[in-house]
Chain A
């Protein structure tokens, strides 16, 4: 049986990742980075879910994290497609400069 790692580390790790995601979202201009930040935040939440599901015999947390991963993948696929199209159309990646959806 593996020595149980203290939950504090997990919580701090996930907090760090979450804050990093937020920082990226706030600081970075490129929409790609914003997506990356979102992914980081989602995964920070996943980390919590996975860790704490060890105390849950039903493993609902694990299941939820699987859903979150699927959701993130789908989201990224759609968001990247949109961003690619926007870039093709407007030659920009900064969401602030995107002021209209119609040309």
Chain B
């Protein structure tokens, strides 16, 4: 326990330090930065190894508000995951970013991101969580807009950030609700108190989580986020940050009421299906993966909604590996395409094809990770997805709501199809490239091979078709005490495998190298028919955002008009009235009030003059008066007293 107390601050702070050191932008500092992340990874392994009881650290911040962290097995495992992927991405980036003069800034931002993410995962108090939630959003914005010199990329970064803000506002509202309603404010207390939240608070948290995890209707930001460097997409927008929403929902799911969970389940299922459809027709290699990420996140969210949150955490874990692998492989492809011919769009799949021969390691990594995504047995993706599908099926049986499982199964087939299409279009077919540059870089090969091997089944469960055999299950959820009554269902198993194979088969039939579609693909344009259009434009979600923005700008314009025509008029009228009133009062003051005062003054002046007139410099007149007064006094005393 003392060792843990010693190393957890290191785990917490190391990414920040290595980021700062990397920011110095020299060869040595970049190496040192990687070393820092490596040390952090080592520490987090020790943490996972030694952690037994949850460790809670809290400082009082304000009256009634604490600044608190806790380390239990779930977030220790996720911290390990963040470190692992960060390290691989940093190693990969050494080559990927070698021509960029701003590599130091890149490393600094990565370090900042890793720090924020670790902080988010370790947060126990909701306020602390919100703080790091925002920092994560901020660092994501910084990394998306890394090439800020290009206007389109910085615009995309802004858009992604703004969409996140909308959802974050709801999260903040939720946190405020928790404080207002007097619920427990830390995850540990939330679990132990067992009080249910009211629906509105739960909904606010759900919207916040949907925003970060790119669920409907917020998923538009994740495709925007692809403007960042590809390794960043692998780290942030596939493996770690987008799972923050899933993590949050896993944490709070015990206190959510029934309809909140239904919102989660349906939202996740709808998103999974929509994003899978949108991934079918994309030309951009990264956009396919982005939509695929949204779709897989939809699975995880769905899993929480149907009560299979263990499967969701399992899927989060496996997805992080194979999706990071896919993105890094895509990054390798893009890097290679760029080196080869910088005049063409290096991300457009229409310019690719036949890369299998030139990039064998990338190809095999992409193939294994892609098949893991599609959900074939003997790969990690199958196991975790199987858990979620089973959960959704059981949920459908118990509630009678079959929308969620049906969408989930459709998505499984679509997933296999679009990833099959992508593999075929990028790596198979005729190649126009004759060079034999075959990824000479160790820094690119090692992360790819590592991630591909990690996507095999035996790292997770010895039985390749048993989703409940995850090694981490007993480690993670033993203290939660809630082992769900799940069991494998043969039908679901067969259906899942069948759909994956069917999807891959259709993809092969349509996009095999000699097929008509593949031949025409290089010159194909945006799809013309309605379904294709909807898919290509991602269900027109951006149009939807534009409409909202338009609506708001209209509201603002209307408010402006109202302000100008009504409020300003009113204010002007008030002003005129004030001036008139002031004039009236001024006249009154000058003539009536001052008049009275002047009148009094002139009366006293008159009296004064009258009295003065008795007086005289002449001695004799004074004496006369004196005598007169004397006489009067005498007469007074004589006759009147």
**Residues on A close to B: CB < 8 A?**
22, 25-27, 95-96
Contacts and interface: CB of A to CB of B under 8 A. Distances in A.
A79 B582 CA distance: 71
A95 B627 contact: no
A26 B623 contact: yes
A98 to B, nearest CB: 10
A22 B617 contact: no
Contacts of B617: 96
14 contacts: A22-B627, A25-B620, A25-B623, A26-B620, A26-B621, A26-B623, A26-B624, A26-B627, A27-B620, A95-B619, A96-B617, A96-B618, A96-B619, A96-B620
Chain B interface extent, by class: under 10
A27 B620 CA distance: 7
A65 to B, nearest CB: 23
Contacts of A25: 620, 623
Interface of B: 617-621, 623-624, 627
A96 B618 CA distance: 6
A25 B620 CA distance: 7
Query: Shortest 5 CB-CB distances between A and B: which pairs?
Result: A26-B620, A26-B624, A96-B618, A95-B619, A96-B619
A15 to B, nearest CB: 13
A65 B619 CA distance: 28
Nearest to A23: B624
Nearest to A96: B618
A95 B618 CA distance: 9
Nearest to A98: B619
B634 to A, nearest CB: 13
A96 B620 CA distance: 8
A25 B624 CA distance: 9
Contacts of B623: 25-26
A94 B582 CA distance: 63
Nearest to A31: B619
A22 B621 CA distance: 12
Contacts of B627: 22, 26
Contacts of B624: 26
A25 B627 CA distance: 11
B175 to A, nearest CB: 95
Contacts of A26: 620-621, 623-624, 627
A20 to B, nearest CB: 13
B624 to A, nearest CB: 5
A30 to B, nearest CB: 11
A25 B626 CA distance: 13
